[in-house]
Amino acid sequence: MELESMPKFLEKKTILVTGATGFLAKAFVEKILRVQPDVKRLYLLIRASDLASATQRLHNEVIGKDLFRVVREKWGTNLDSFISKKVIAIPGDVSYENLGVKDCKLRKDMWKELDIILNSAATTTFDERYDVALGINTFGALNVLDFAKNCINLKVLLHVSTAYVCGEKKGQILESPFKMEETLNGSSSLNIKAEKEVVEEYLNKLRGQGATDGAITSSMKDLGIKRAKLYGWPNTYVYTKAMGEMLLGRFRENLPLVIIRPTMVSSTYKEPFSGWIEGVRTIDGVVAAYGKGKLKSFLGYHETILDIIPADMVVNCMIVAMVACANQSSQIILHVGSSWRNPIKFSSFRNIIFRYFTENPLVSKNGESIKVDEGIVLSSMAIFRAYMAIRYILPLKVFQIANAVFSEYYLDSINDLERKINSGMRLAELYKPYVFFMGRFDDSNTEKLQMATNESGVDSHSFARVGAGVAVGGAVGGAVGAVYGTYEAIRFKVSGLMKIRYIGQTALGSAAMFGLFLGAGSLIHCGKSYYALFLGN
């Protein structure tokens, strides 16, 4: 497979990005603007009521973010002019026909101009309202496909999914497409069109009963989980994403389609700088809570494999896949993760964060170092429930008795505690499939893509890396960096591999931090650039 230079491929191209204010999408946009300023145009689809609102969100939630620091420094006072020429905000919504783009002339212009479509629009809430998740993750994907079919010069449609559409499978998980209306538990009754009808009937029933907005939201969330589990998926998010993949595969015809399935996406490893993350995501929340001394126990099995991948590696893979699969009239699925070539067990992760926060404790508001202990590992849901009963539920019962004696004096406090306990139990159920996950994501297609870049001698200085590697430091660094600021790496010797220095940076201040990569076989480079990170033994 001969690959064109990535910067050359993107030159003069017109790209549509849906879900443009999302984490990966804005990282993709930043990368394009930074390494190929001669891109013709970026259309960014943003959920907004009108153009003014979409433009405001573009500047506040995308361009104005610290992620664009390097681009901002490069263009200086000319940044606004550069952005106005290259980036167009479009009010729209993938849940609607034609992506909610109401301007007929604009639609026709896009159909003539577009070379690439990146669909990253999604709701990632595990227990999202079923109607919302179905509209965005499932039928939203179909709406993007229908829009793409009208584009006369389209070279590739890239759809961002998730590796966890596999549900709770164990062992090797292949980069295989779903068959239409396939289920994970062997049920033959899934009908995607009928699911939409189920939602509409359920909503009409609730409204007919005079249900409040809060009651409708709660009921629709429960419905999503119920329907997901009926067919073998653990939650609404992965279930609706899987159905979205099914629709894309079934109706794509000859349109070139790439489905990217990333695992747990964490902070950036290298580009545009190390340690950038937005908010506290997935495993980062665990690390941040532990470092601040608020997490005293871990729900998880010692042998559970954590699959973490830095955001910039996912973006690099996306771009290389666009180049490799353009005009191919085929479908390819790419796992972007680390568990196949570089697995790390939960027990190792726990030891790493304990070691770090012991040597580099965070500082509390009163200026004192926060001490952490190794924490209790709750290795099954039965143990977790027993732990919750002894530590929280039984004391709450005693509190309730005391409250009755004192004429409901503590009622507000009791209600607050009950709410927190119920929330904790619900979260444990939602995250159970992942804290006890025993699968490993085969990344053979991604590996072949990387090999093709090597064989083509692609100059990848600007697109320096694509592949699979566990960035444990990325997870820890992102979590702590997002809260406490700049951090600096310490060296960690890895068997069979030279020491690696990972220097992270955010814009919030300074705090010591570390980063590391584990496993010699995991570090995949694109072309011949290794970031010059390897230091002598």
- Give me the residues paired with residue 119 across strands: 18, 159
Q: How many CB atoms lie within 10 A of CB 396?
A: 16
Query: Which two structure tokens, joined as six digits, stand for 265?
Result: 């996406």
Q: What is the pLDDT of residues 268-305, one digit of tens each?
A: 999 999 989 887 666 777 888 899 998 888 889 889 98
Q: What is the pLDDT of residues 490-499, one digit of tens each?
A: 223 222 222 2
Decide if 149 contacts 253 (C-beta within 8 A): yes
Strands (DSSP E) contained in 174-306 are 257-262, 264-266, 297-299, 305-306
Query: Which residues have CB under 8 Å from 23's CB, separation 6+?
Result: 265, 278, 281, 311
Q: How many CB atoms lie within 10 A of CB 141?
A: 29
Over residues 525-529, mean pLDDT: 27
Q: How many CA atoms lie within 13 A of 20 on its CB side?
A: 31
Question: What is the model's pTM?
Answer: 0.85
Query: Which two structure tokens, joined as six digits, stand for 11?
Result: 């030159």
- Going by the DSSP 8-state scheme, the letter that residue 178 receives in this structure is P
Work out the pLDDT band at 487, boundaries 50, 70, 90.
very low
* 395 within a domain of the structure (yes/no): yes
Work out the pLDDT band at 513, boundaries 50, 70, 90.
very low
446-453 contacts at long range (C-beta below 8 A, 24 or more positions apart): 446/175, 446/317, 446/334, 446/335, 446/336, 446/524, 447/524, 449/317, 449/320, 449/321, 449/324, 449/334, 450/320, 450/524, 450/525, 450/526, 452/1, 452/3, 452/324, 453/3, 453/320, 453/526, 453/527
Q: Which domain holds residue 402?
A: 266-308+340-439+461-521
The bridge status of strand 492-494 relative to strand 497-500 is antiparallel
Q: Is the pLDDT of residue 527 over 80?
A: no
69-78 contacts at long range (C-beta below 8 A, 24 or more positions apart): 69/272, 69/273, 69/507, 70/30, 70/34, 70/272, 70/273, 71/30, 71/33, 71/34, 71/272, 74/34
* 419 within a domain of the structure (yes/no): yes
Decide if 334 contacts 177 (C-beta within 8 A): no
Catalytic residue among 13, 31, 241, 270: 241
* 193 within a domain of the structure (yes/no): no
Residue whose entry in the numeric block shows the structure tokens 């361009």: 63
Output phi, psi for 491, to 5 deg. -80, 145
* 476 within a domain of the structure (yes/no): yes
Name residue 225's amino acid: I
Q: How many CB atoms lie within 10 A of CB 445?
A: 17
- State the Cα–Cα distance between residues 258 and 332, nearest whole angstrom: 5
* 479 within a domain of the structure (yes/no): yes
The C-alpha R_g of the chain, in whole angstroms, comes to: 24
* 454 within a domain of the structure (yes/no): no
The percent of residues in the chain predicted with pLDDT above 90, rounded, is: 64
Q: What is the pLDDT of residues 433-478, one digit of tens each?
A: 998 999 999 999 999 988 887 776 654 433 333 333 334 444 455 5
- Going by the DSSP 8-state scheme, the letter that residue 181 receives in this structure is T
358-377 b/e (C-beta count within 10 Å ≥ 16 → b): eebbbeeeeeeeeebeeeee
Q: How many CB atoms lie within 10 A of CB 467?
A: 24
Q: What is the pLDDT of residue 2?
A: 59
Calculate the average pLDDT of the chain: 84
Q: What is the pLDDT of residue 284?
A: 77
Work out the pLDDT band at 535, boundaries 50, 70, 90.
very low
Query: Which residues have CB under 8 Å from 261's CB, separation 6+?
Result: 161, 162, 163, 165, 175, 333, 334, 335, 336, 441
220: left (phi over 0), alpha (psi -120 to 50) or beta: alpha
Using CA atoms in the order 477, 483, 487, 489, what is the torsion angle rounded to 10 degrees? -20
Q: Is the pLDDT of residue 427 over 80?
A: yes
Between CA 276 and CA 285, with CA 280 as vertex, the angle to 5 degrees is 130
Indicate the burial class of 405 (C-beta count within 10 angstroms; 0-12, 13-18, 19 or more): exposed
Mind giving me the DSSP string for 378-405? Answer: E-SHHHHHHHHIIIIIHHHHHHHHHHHH
H/E run at residue 413: helix 411-435
Catalytic residue among 43, 237, 239, 502: 237
Query: Which two structure tokens, joined as six digits, stand for 367?
Result: 């200026």
The percent of residues in the chain predicted with pLDDT above 70, rounded, is: 84
502 belongs to the catalytic site: no
- State the Cα–Cα distance between residues 496 and 492, nearest whole angstrom: 12
Decide if 510 contacts 486 (C-beta within 8 A): yes
Q: What is the pLDDT of residues 346-376, one digit of tens each?
A: 899 899 999 999 999 999 989 999 999 998 8
* 433 within a domain of the structure (yes/no): yes
Output phi, psi for 17, to 5 deg. -120, 120
- Going by the DSSP 8-state scheme, the letter that residue 22 receives in this structure is S
Indicate the burial class of 205 (C-beta count within 10 angstroms; 0-12, 13-18, 19 or more): exposed
Name residue 518's amino acid: L
- State the Cα–Cα distance between residues 336 and 421, nearest whole angstrom: 35
Decide if 267 contacts 474 (C-beta within 8 A): yes
239 belongs to the catalytic site: no
Q: What is the pLDDT of residue 1?
A: 54
Indicate the burial class of 51 (C-beta count within 10 angstroms; 0-12, 13-18, 19 or more): middle
Give how many domains the chain has, as a whole number: 1
Q: Is the pLDDT of residue 524 over 80?
A: no
**Whole-angstrom distance between the N-terminal and C-terminal Cα of the chain?**
36
- Give me the residues paired with residue 310 across strands: 266
The bridge status of strand 331-336 relative to strand 116-119 is unpaired
